[in-house]
Every structure is written in C-alpha cells, then in structure tokens.
Amino acid sequence: MLPSMVSLKKNIILTGFSGTGKTAVGAIVAQILGWKFVDTDNYISRLTGKTILKIFSEDGENEFRELERKALLTICSRENQVIATGGGAVLEHSNQELLLTKGLVVTLEARAETILVRLNAQEQRNYEERRPLLGTGDKLNRIRELKAKRQIHYDASDTVIHTDLLTAEQTAAGVINAWKSFAIKTNKLDGFGDSIAAIVEHEAGAYPVKVEWGLLGRLGESLINFGIEGPVYIISDDQVFHLYGRKIQRVLHDAGIEAHSFIFKAGEQSKTLATAESIYKWLIERRAERNHAILAVGGGVAGDLGGFVAATFLRGIPFIQVPTSMAAMVDASIGGKVAVNVPEGKNMIGSFYQPKMVLADPETLSTLDNRCLSEGWAEAIKHGFIRDQNLVEIFEYNAEALGSLDPDISTAVIRRSIQIKADVVSNDEKEKLGIRILLNYGHTVGHALEVASSYGKYLHGEGVSIGMMAAAEISCKMGMIHKDVVGRQEHILRQFNLPTVARQVNLSTLTRAMELDKKTEKGSVRWVLLREVGHAVSTRDVPKAVVNEVLSLITDNS
C-alpha cells in the first residue's frame, strides 16, 4: 500500500468467500470497537426491497454488481465502520482499489469443505440465504471453482485469517489484532516504510519485523528510530561475528551507539546454561543495566541464547533479534520462544520473552554454504504446507531461483513466511488455543533426531525436513491425505537438497527422545499432521503401531 494512502484507512473491511464468517465476525468486531457494522448485501437488500437471491433471479448478476459498486462508494465514504462485503465484491478492480484505499482489508479464508458445511447450515435456517451462484448441483466443486477464480483478488488484501479451526470470537480477536498492528505501524513506525514485513502482537504490546536487503548497513539508524540509543551487548557466535561483527560495531559506532560483544563457539552445543552463566558474568563486569539492550546476532542458537539471557538477567532486559540464517529469519527469531538445551532434550529450559524488534537482512544469507541455506528453507516450506498452499507452489516452481538466493523472489518469500509465523503467534502467543502448535509440523521427529545424534549430525532444518516426511506419512496412513501429497512434499524438499530419510539412527534412542519432547503429555505425543496442502491439524490420537511403522520407514540403518 502506498504511504500516501495509509492515513485514509478509517474502516475495517472483511472480504472472502461466502461462508467464511464475515457477517458474524464483523458484528463482533464492531461491538468491541464501538463502531457501526455494515453488511453490504443487507444494505443492498434494504435499498432495493429485494433479497439478493431475487435480485439475481429477476435482474441478473450484472445489475447486482452495479448495485454493489454504488453501495460500496456510499458506504466507504464514511469512517469507523466494520464492513462485510459480498463474496464477489473484490472481482471488480475499482471496488478492490476503493476498499484498499478506504479501509484495512482483511480476507477471511476457509477450505471449500468448511464453507459447504457452513452454507448448508445457513440455508437450513433460512432458504433466502441460499447463494445464487452455487446452483443446486455439486456445490462443493462449484465452491472450489469459484474460489479458485477469485483467490488472486482475495490474496490482494492487507492480511488473511484462516477461520477453519476458529470460532467467530477467535476470528474477531485476529481481526482486532490486525487493526492494532496497522495502527501501530502507521502511527508509530512510519520511519520504517515498506520494509516492515509484519507486526507481532503479544499480551504486553507489539513489535515490528523489518526485512530489507542491505539492512545491516543501516542497523544503527533502525535502532535509533525505535528509541534504542545504547549501550547494546552483541551476543554472537565465532563464525557469524567473523563475518558481520566488526561491520555491526562500526555501523553502531557511526550512529553513536556504544556496543560490546560476547562471542561463543558456533553450534547447538553452546546453547547451554553454562554458556548463559558466562554471559551473565560478562554483563555484570560491564555494569549492564535494565534499560540497556542485548543484540542477538546470528542463527537460532544466538537468538535463543541471547533471548534467554535477556529474559533472565536483572529479571528481564530488552533484546533485539538480528537473524543471519534463513531458519532464524523465517522462524526462530519471531514469537518470543527463548531457551537453552540440556542433555535430555532441546529447549527444555526456557521462557516466552518477546524481542523489541526483529531486523532481518536477507543479504546476509549470501555467505551461508549451500547446506545451511537449504536447511533454512525447510522452515519456510513448512509454513507453506501448514498454512499457505500458494507458498508451496512458489517453492515448487522457483527452487532454482530460491536456491541461488535471487534477491527479489527470496526477499518476497522470506517476507511471506514471516507473515505466516507472525500471524500464528499473534493469535496464540503461548500455545493456549491450539493454533501455535501447528508451527511444530515436522518438529516432533526433527527435535528427537537432533537429540538422538547429540546435536552433531543433523542441522535443525534437516531434522525438520525428515520430521515433515514422518508427519506426512502418518497423515497418509491415518487417511487424512492422499499419497500424492506425501510425494509432492518429498519432491519439494529434495529440490532444496534436504534429507527425507534419517541415516544410521538408533530407533530406540529416537523413540526415547520423542517421549521427552515438550509437546508430550501423559506419555502421549501431540502430533501435527496434514489435512491437505496448506492446512494442518494437531492430534494425540495416533496409534503407536502407525508411529513405529513410519519411524521404520523414514530411518535407514544400512
């Protein structure tokens, strides 16, 4: 959206296919905000004295679209409204342009099967609510056809909320969060411009995730714009600091920010209480104060370790994530999970502690070797499979460009993946609603593989890749997805040179590590499985025999 148009957005506008909940959700949002609620279909019906069904049957779709266009012009001339549009309103370019100018446009999304169930229920309550364009034949296929034609228009909104697993109240909370994010971005963060990929909402406030090629050279400016003047304490590993540490110190110095650096040995093996204790002593020696900030620079280890120290030193000091690995950018740096490992399990000692901001420069990925770059893409591919089938297609058809880190498409995909993660954690910060757990697709087996190999054999993303294959195979054996989906996922992962089978892993050690996983409760593993591409669910109802069969399938001890 053009900056000049931002200030004109005085409404919240809900779009999406029929049955995604626009009317019910809009009424709740309007009540919470104390705004007026307008349903465009009801507005047109009152204006003409006819039901929408009758307008279509007597006057035709073209006449209805003209009425809809005029109604939107009138409605959008006012402010402080929650507007629920008809499912086809965004098909007209002038309508879409108007909506994006006059309001924050939120698309409510749902699977075709969910939509059919909801529409059938509405029709049973009131026959006049029958949708004229669905006809009386195979409604499910008709929904799929219409939705596919309209999807590109729905995707052009400011944000998307998937409503399949949400109540109207939960969806309304997501809309409110989106509005808060928009208000924060426009009112407080104008200096960041279009480089903000997402804003993460949490119970104590919100923070921006900024993504921009070459951002590292303007790090000092970004911190000062956000009110951070130093001193700052850089926590980084010896490999990342060798590449970027001095540059960051120079950039911060030029901006007038005092910076100190603690360097630890690269690798998951350093993410321990012992390393954290060394950092505590180092901070005390430098007389660090509660209003100073930690700058976690590097991959997921630096972010987890630096965040853990920030959460616990002086009962909490500010910290900023500066991710330099793919996995850290699209996943680990967002959401406030900070932790250290113990021999019995990964991330067993930790907390939820949100950063003040995340500053991601995709250009830093150009120094990664092919293996590290590939393992990072695993987390972004995961986001597509659990939440966005369009993102899956981008990976499917652009593997070469992404593998070579083409600046434009890589930055765009990183931004989209970040938006998915930010949306999920904003709606379920501490995994109380069962939404955030979906981000653990592939992690049950993935984390167990890391533990079983003492964090030395598999990189995190490689473990996740194998774990995704295990989860997909279980989904297939449980009758949730077709074998073709398993094959499609395997093909994409292999395109990015990611492993799909674990080599020379002791099954009993792997099983034991899974039982110690944080998601295990009363001996029952909470699995994240696929219903379809772009739609994941969680369950504990996976027979042990199925798990054992799949573990044998995805391990190779030859």
Sheet holding 293-298, edge to edge: 196-202, 205-211, 357-360, 319-323, 293-298, 232-237, 259-264
Residue from 9, 271, 447, 477 carrying the catalytic annotation: 447
Residue from 436, 477, 519, 535 carrying the catalytic annotation: 436
Residue from 123, 129, 431, 532 carrying the catalytic annotation: 431
Residue from 111, 292, 337, 535 carrying the catalytic annotation: 337
What is the CA angle 247-250-255, rounded to 5?
A: 130
Residue from 9, 102, 111, 443 carrying the catalytic annotation: 443
- Does residue 443 carry a catalytic annotation? yes
- Helix (H) / strand (E) element for 295: namely strand 293-298
Asked if residue 98 lies in contact with residue 71, where contact means CB atoms within 8 angstroms, the answer is no
Residue from 109, 268, 379, 429 carrying the catalytic annotation: 379
Residue from 9, 271, 382, 421 carrying the catalytic annotation: 421
Per-position DSSP letters for 171-221, written without gaps between them: HHHHHHHHHHHHHHHHHH-GGGGGGEEEEEEETTEEEEEEE-TTGGGGHHH
- Does residue 315 carry a catalytic annotation? yes
Pairing of strands 502-503, 555-556: parallel
Q: CB atoms < 10 A from the CB of 534, how many? A: 20
Q: 198 is written with which tokens?
A: 């997402």
Give the residue carrying structure tokens 């994409």: 492
Residue from 460, 477, 519, 535 carrying the catalytic annotation: 460
- Does residue 242 carry a catalytic annotation? no
- Helix (H) / strand (E) element for 417: namely helix 407-427
Q: Tell how far CA 345 is from the center of its chain.
A: 25
- Helix (H) / strand (E) element for 215: namely none
> How many angstroms separate the CA atoms of 487 and 365, rounded?
29
Q: Which residues contact 438 (CB under 8 A, 6 or more apart)?
A: 386, 387, 424, 528, 536, 537, 538
- Does residue 36 carry a catalytic annotation? no
> How many angstroms separate the CA atoms of 340 and 351, rounded?
10
3-state secondary structure of 516: coil
Q: 92 is written with which tokens?
A: 């007209």
- Does residue 287 carry a catalytic annotation? no
- Does residue 130 carry a catalytic annotation? no
Backbone angles phi, psi at 457, to 5 degrees: -95, -45
> How many angstroms separate the CA atoms of 370 and 321, rounded?
23
Residue from 9, 95, 440, 490 carrying the catalytic annotation: 440
In a 13 Å sphere around the CA of 513, the CA atoms on its Cβ side amount to: 25
- Does residue 292 carry a catalytic annotation? no
Backbone angles phi, psi at 349, to 5 degrees: -115, 110
Q: 30 is written with which tokens?
A: 């309007």
Q: What residues does 527 pair with on adjacent strands? A: 539
Q: What is the DSSP letter of 499?
A: -
> How many angstroms separate the CA atoms of 338 and 302, rounded?
10
Asked if residue 147 lies in contact with residue 199, where contact means CB atoms within 8 angstroms, the answer is no
> How many angstroms separate the CA atoms of 313 and 160, rounded?
37
Q: Would the CA dihedral through 60, 63, 66, 72 be positive or negative?
A: negative
Peptide bond into 499 cis (omega under 30): no
- Does residue 460 carry a catalytic annotation? yes
Residue type present at position 178: A
- Does residue 286 carry a catalytic annotation? no
> How many angstroms separate the CA atoms of 149 and 249, rounded?
51
3-state secondary structure of 265: coil
Q: What is the DSSP letter of 500?
A: S
Q: What residues does 520 pair with on adjacent strands? A: 525
Q: What residues does 208 pair with on adjacent strands? A: 199
- Does residue 379 carry a catalytic annotation? yes
Residue from 93, 125, 315, 432 carrying the catalytic annotation: 315
Active site residues per annotation: 315, 337, 379, 421, 431, 436, 440, 443, 447, 460
